[in-house]
Amino acid sequence: MKGQNISLRQARYHLSIYLFLLPCALFIGMFAYYPAVNGIYHSFFQWNGGDVDRFHGAQSYSKLFLADTEFWLAFKNALILGIANIFKMAPSIVTAVCLHRVRNARLQFVYRVAFVVPMVIPILVTTYLWKAIYDPSNGALNTILQSTGLMKALVWISSSAAHLSENFDPLGFFSWLGALFRAGENPAWLGTPSLAMLALILRDFPWVGTFGVLVYLAVLQSIPRDIYEAAEVDGAGWLSKFRYIELPMILRQVRIMMILVIMGSINDAGLVMAMFGIEGGPGGVVQVPALFMYREAFQNQNLGYACAIGVVMFAVILICTKLNDWLVKPGD
Amino acid sequence: MKPVESRPTGFWRRISERFNSQRNANGNGAPADDGQRRVNRIAVALVAGTFLWSLSHVLLRQRIDETAHPVLSLAHWQLEPGIRTGMETMARRYNAMRRSRGLPEVIFKQYPISEKAYGQWVTTQLIGGTAPDLIEMGIGLPAATWVNYRGRYFVPLTQEIMRPNPYNAGTPLENVPWKETFLDGLGNPISELQEYYDIGLSAFGQRIFFNQALLKKLTAKLASEGKIPAALDEPPGDLRAFLKLCDQIMELKDERGRNYMSLAGSKYQMGFMVKQIIDPLTMELLDKVDLNHSADASSEETFFAARMGRLKFSDPQVLRIAAIWKEIAKRFQPGWNGLDRNDAVQLFVRQQCLFFATGSWDASTLKVQAESSETPFPVGIAKFPVISPNDPEWGEFGWGPTYEKPATAFPFGIPSQSNNRELALDFLRFITTRENNQILNDEIEWIPVIKGAEPKPLLRAFQPTFEGMYRGWNLELGSRTKTFTDQIEPLMEIGEDDKGRSFTILDWAEHMDTEWVDAAARDFEKRDEDERDGLQTKNALAAVLRAKMLLAAPENRDFHTRHYFGYASVPLEANKNIALWQAWLRETAPAKKGAQP
């Protein structure tokens, strides 16, 4: 519905309705905007969250930009995770399209329910489940890899990469790959520094994000049947239908999901903390900006500095979102 | 949209009509009919009724309970069943005592809260004014926050603990100040507040737990193969022999063809191994680190010693210690450093691992788990192995066992908002008599904390060793050094970095000599700031204690005089620390570019 401009006199007439919105606006102000503004304010202070609150200008920002290499290393990790997470969106798009194309309404309903049920499981529970899957001695992943013979293939790939790295090693990729899997050893997914990031990326395999599937499916189901019929008359195959009908329709949702994925990659500290501990894994190899901020705030009691980190994270997310808007343009 | 004329029929009716007219205009629905209105009213009545019932329940709950009997509530984070039943036993004994004295019985309420939520729970209860009468202290919040909470929300017990415990009348502890009846004399007061706030009920220690049946079985097999002279009933006390046994066990296979693991490990377990075996090996470093000759290596001194170059992690002696450290890490199961404490417990209980390092607090739980497992097995407890002076390689560190400081744990404090402060204090006095403390700890299978009370046979292995080596460094100056060591140590222990390249002990030493010192400098800066920020409070407290001394009634003057003079040195000590640290900072400052040597 298109908005309509009304005069102040008319607005006064609807005062009671605006009054109903007031509590909601107050709560948003109190719990969303006030802490954010307070965070920006305190980023200019040396603040321990309690009695120490000294103004020290932009010192936190200058330290962050000029001296704190750890913070930017955390952003590098977030970038790797963000790129991986964007690729991990593909299975949910494919799943949504497949679900959409299920002809039998009852079967489609069963599938939809099957996808909704995992949403009920808290993320922390699935995280601990994945920790158990990654257990080197009794975990399901190593058991599957060993029993299917896939481990031998991985060891072969690793040893080949190690050989290759002796002569050709762009960015140290082959030497990294060469050290991942060794014959006769169960990989310690969460305990080996070179495997930790891979373990974080592989988590939730096959990456059929339930929420994404439902969002895409909702849009796909709004496509009128006659468009498909017309396409079929024109001789469109399943791929053409996806390319010319379905993908353009869900591109707006893909863009939204990408924004959420980028925000999650930068903002999510809980997942890394639950899997690897507050230090961000062995050698801090999976440290992300939010974890760095959390540690500064609640371990180092340096809340003013943590506020500055939060402000920078906000700015980075804003830039990423704008870039995303610019790069991914949904058709009308 | 056409505005509807307002009628003077009341605010709510006007709103309702306006919404209905809008819904009609938008075609979104029709105004509610009588039936709908009735349903709505029933729903509103239901919600309002439920709310009023809840409100009255909350408001009256305390009053109803307290009409007949006083209520004593206590909160702790010990979810193991033994602790709850132990406290219930104490409650029953306390009520029996009260009955015998013609006093009304007490209703006990226990709130066992999960460890992970404990800090938040306590904070909410204290701020909300709904805290129980006794609260276990010390977990879930930073140590500094607990100090703040003690000062703000808890009753100081200093005066009470200086007086004898009345329940000790007729026992050898009669007339002994309550404080002195504890094994460690309750240690020192909270240094920032110079008051005692909590009473510990148990003591803790750390040891190596082992599967007795499996040890016997596996060592018998090794003996039959001629690898060891005879089957063992307990692990070797010599570190080299212990590590060799671990290697031999790791070569044996179970019924399913899997290799046995020797040490069940996680970061949690490794912490005990480092504390008990590795840290004491650094005792000789005390000569270089103990700058104020107090026979103790503080974290500040370790930092300054490293900054001055007196302590270098790349020194051959430190490298040899790190090599032993790495040897121990090799005996843990693969991937141990990515696992949690409970994962290691599972390996031990499933009999996949033979040894398991943990504290006395786990003894009873492990015993129960072992006894109730598919194939029950007896749990043995042994001291950590030590290096023999005759060891061909490590003999230089063969100085004997590790010194263990006795310390009270399982501490409870009384919130000042409690309506039953006297009763709570009385209960604490009651359960810290020698007899009751022994009964309580026998039931929860922890170590009693009152002089003369004996631990159960299983826990005798935890009796502290009063003579032995102690550490010559302290690497944890603050949160930054802790994070750094937590990150760097696994790389050294595993022997590789994130690119899969080898990470040697020398690499570790190099990182420690540079990055640890940087992290320590930042931690030190914070500690120095905190000390300065706290000065004002310390001075103010000294002034208050002085005023209390001067204004005290004659019968209390002696206590307040001792208290003031006991505290007067605290702000002076803080000033001295700041001055000393600044002097050390100046002495150890890196030379400026172009300056003459």
Look at residue B31 in the predicted model and tell me its pLDDT.
53
Q: Is A203 on the interface with B (CB under 8 A)?
A: no
* Nearest beta carbon to residue B336 from set A13, A180, A191: A191
Eight-state DSSP code of residue B73:
E
Same domain, B390 and B434: no
Look at residue B2 in the predicted model and tell me its pLDDT.
44
Cβ–Cβ < 8 Å for B202, B412: no
Residues paired with residue B45 on neighbouring β-strands, in sequence order: none
CATH number, domain containing residue B420: 3.40.190.10
User: Is A222 within a domain?
Assistant: yes
Look at residue B501 in the predicted model and tell me its pLDDT.
87
Q: Is B535 on the interface with A (CB under 8 A)?
A: no
Q: Is B478 on the interface with A (CB under 8 A)?
A: yes
| Residue type present at position B155 | V
Count of domains for chain B: 4
User: Is A238 within a domain?
Assistant: yes
What is the phi/psi pair of residue A208, to 5°? Answer: -85, 80
Same domain, B248 and B374: yes
Q: Is A135 on the interface with B (CB under 8 A)?
A: yes
**Which pair of tokens denotes residue B57?**
């329940």
Angle separating helix axes B11-26 and A15-28, nearest 10 degrees: 90
Of B354, B384, B403, which residue sits at a domain end?
A: B403
Residues paired with residue B198 on neighbouring β-strands, in sequence order: B413
**Cβ neighbours of residue B142 under 8 Å, at least 6 residues apart?**
A298, A299, A301
> What residues of chain A lie within 8 A of the CB of B334, using their CB?
136-137, 185-186, 188, 191
User: Is B197 within a domain?
Assistant: yes
Q: What residue of B is the nearest CA neighbor of A162?
A: B500
User: Is B39 within a domain?
Assistant: yes
Secondary structure, 3-state, B516-570: HHHHHHHHHHHHHHHHHHHHHHHHHHHHHHHHHHHHCCHHHHHHHHHHHHHHHHH
Same domain, B76 and B138: yes
Closest C-alpha to B204, from B357, B83, B77, B360: B360
Within a 10 A sphere around the Cβ of B109, how many other Cβ atoms?
A: 13
* Nearest beta carbon to residue B343 from set A135, A185, A277: A135
Cα–Cα dist A42/B129, whole Å: 29
* Nearest beta carbon to residue A190 from set B11, B338, B500: B338
Sheet holding B261-264, edge to edge: B261-264, B353-359, B206-211, B379-382
> What are A151-181's pLDDT values in tens digits?
999 999 999 998 888 888 887 888 888 888 9
The pairing of beta strand B206-211 with beta strand B379-382: antiparallel
**Which pair of tokens denotes residue A317?**
């997310």
Residues paired with residue B415 on neighbouring β-strands, in sequence order: B154
Cα–Cα dist B30/B211, whole Å: 75
User: Is A107 within a domain?
Assistant: yes
Give the number of beta-carbon pairs within 8 Å between A and B. 124
Mutating which of A19, A46, A137, A198 best tests the B interface, going by the most B Cβ atoms within 10 A? A137
Q: Is A57 left (phi over 0), alpha (psi -120 to 50) or beta?
A: left
Closest C-alpha to B409, from B155, B42, B139: B139
Eight-state DSSP code of residue B195:
B
> What residues of chain B lie within 8 A of the CB of A13, using their CB?
3
In angstroms, what separates the C-alpha of A124 from chain B's closest C-alpha? Answer: 13
Closest C-alpha to A193, from B531, B7, B189, B338: B338
Query: Is B148 in Cβ contact with A295 (below 8 Å)?
Result: no
User: Is B390 within a domain?
Assistant: yes
User: Is A270 within a domain?
Assistant: yes
CATH number, domain containing residue A300: 1.10.3720.10
Q: Give, for all 332 residues of chain A, the pLDDT tens digit.
A: 566 777 777 777 778 888 889 999 999 999 999 999 999 999 999 887 766 778 999 999 999 998 888 888 999 999 999 999 999 999 999 999 999 988 888 998 898 888 878 878 888 889 989 999 999 888 999 999 999 999 999 999 999 998 888 888 887 888 888 888 988 888 999 999 999 999 999 998 888 877 888 899 999 989 998 899 999 999 888 899 999 999 998 998 898 898 888 888 888 888 898 899 888 999 899 999 999 998 888 777 788 999 999 999 999 999 988 888 888 776 54
Sequence-ordered strand ranges (E) for chain A: 45-47, 53-55
User: Is B304 within a domain?
Assistant: no
Cα–Cα dist B212/B232, whole Å: 9
Same domain, B419 and B536: no
Q: What dihedral do alpha carbons B571, B574, B578, B581 form, nearest 10°?
A: 160
Query: Is A172 in Cβ contact with B499 (below 8 Å)?
Result: yes
Cβ–Cβ < 8 Å for A136, B335: yes
Q: How far, in Å, are A213, B3, B234 from residue B273 at the CA level?
A: 48, 79, 18
Same domain, B21 and B75: no
Give residue A95's domain range: 66-121+196-327
Q: What residue of A is the nearest CA neighbor of B4?
A: A13
| Residue type present at position A176 | W
Same domain, B342 and B359: yes
Look at residue B24 in the predicted model and tell me its pLDDT.
53
User: Is A276 within a domain?
Assistant: yes
User: Is A189 within a domain?
Assistant: no
DSSP string across B415-463: BTT-TTHHHHHHHHHHHTSHHHHHHHHHHHT-B--BTTPPPPGGGGGG-
User: Is A8 within a domain?
Assistant: no
**Residue labelled with tokens 């090996």:** B281
Cα–Cα dist A53/B319, whole Å: 43
Cβ–Cβ < 8 Å for A280, A287: yes
Of B462, B479, B494, which residue sits at a domain end?
A: B462
**Residue labelled with tokens 């090599």:** B323
Cα–Cα dist A195/A200, whole Å: 9
Same domain, B182 and B274: no
Same domain, B458 and B366: no
The pairing of beta strand B353-359 with beta strand B261-264: parallel
Interface list for A 7-66 with B (CB within 8 A): 10, 13, 16-17, 50-52
Within a 10 A sphere around the Cβ of A30, how many other Cβ atoms?
A: 10
Sign of CA dihedral B123, B126, B131, B136: positive
Look at residue A152 in the predicted model and tell me its pLDDT.
94
Q: Give, for all 597 residues of chain B, the pLDDT tens digit.
A: 444 444 445 666 666 666 566 555 544 545 557 778 888 888 889 999 999 998 888 777 655 555 578 899 999 998 877 889 999 999 999 999 999 999 999 999 999 998 877 887 888 888 788 899 999 998 877 666 787 788 778 888 888 898 999 999 999 999 999 999 998 888 877 766 667 899 999 988 899 999 999 999 999 999 999 999 999 999 999 999 999 999 999 999 988 888 899 999 888 889 999 999 999 999 999 999 998 888 888 888 999 999 989 999 999 999 999 999 999 999 998 889 888 888 888 899 989 999 999 988 888 888 888 998 888 999 999 999 999 999 999 999 998 888 887 778 899 999 988 889 899 999 999 999 999 999 999 998 889 999 999 988 888 888 888 788 889 999 988 888 988 999 999 999 989 988 888 999 999 999 999 999 999 998 888 878 877 877 887 788 788 888 988 998 888 788 778 778 777 777 787 788 788 888 888 887 766 555 443
**Which pair of tokens denotes residue A316?**
């980075």
Give residue B281's domain range: 206-289+310-403
User: Is B444 within a domain?
Assistant: yes
Cβ–Cβ < 8 Å for B69, B107: yes
What is the phi/psi pair of residue A175, to 5°? Answer: -70, -35
Look at residue B17 in the predicted model and tell me its pLDDT.
65
Same domain, B331 and B258: yes
Residues paired with residue B73 on neighbouring β-strands, in sequence order: B109
User: Is B495 within a domain?
Assistant: no
Look at residue B3 in the predicted model and tell me its pLDDT.
45
**Residue labelled with tokens 């450093």:** B337
Same domain, B94 and B152: yes
Of B64, B79, B96, which residue sits at a domain end?
A: B64
Query: Is B15 in Cβ contact with A16 (below 8 Å)?
Result: yes
pTM for the full predicted model: 0.79
Look at residue B4 in the predicted model and tell me its pLDDT.
45
Closest C-alpha to A195, from A136, A238, A279, A270: A136
User: Is A293 within a domain?
Assistant: yes
* Nearest beta carbon to residue A175 from set B142, B499, B529: B499
Q: Is B498 on the interface with A (CB under 8 A)?
A: yes
* Helix H or strand E encompassing A73: helix A69-87
Count of domains for chain A: 1
Q: Is A279 on the interface with B (CB under 8 A)?
A: yes
Cα–Cα dist A26/A4, whole Å: 24
> What are A283-321's pLDDT values in tens digits?
899 999 999 998 888 777 788 999 999 999 999 999 988
Same domain, B213 and B358: yes
**Residue labelled with tokens 């939730």:** A204
User: Is B294 within a domain?
Assistant: no
**Residue labelled with tokens 């339930």:** A210
Same domain, B577 and B550: yes
For all residues of chain A together, what is the average pLDDT? Answer: 88
Eight-state DSSP code of residue B154:
B
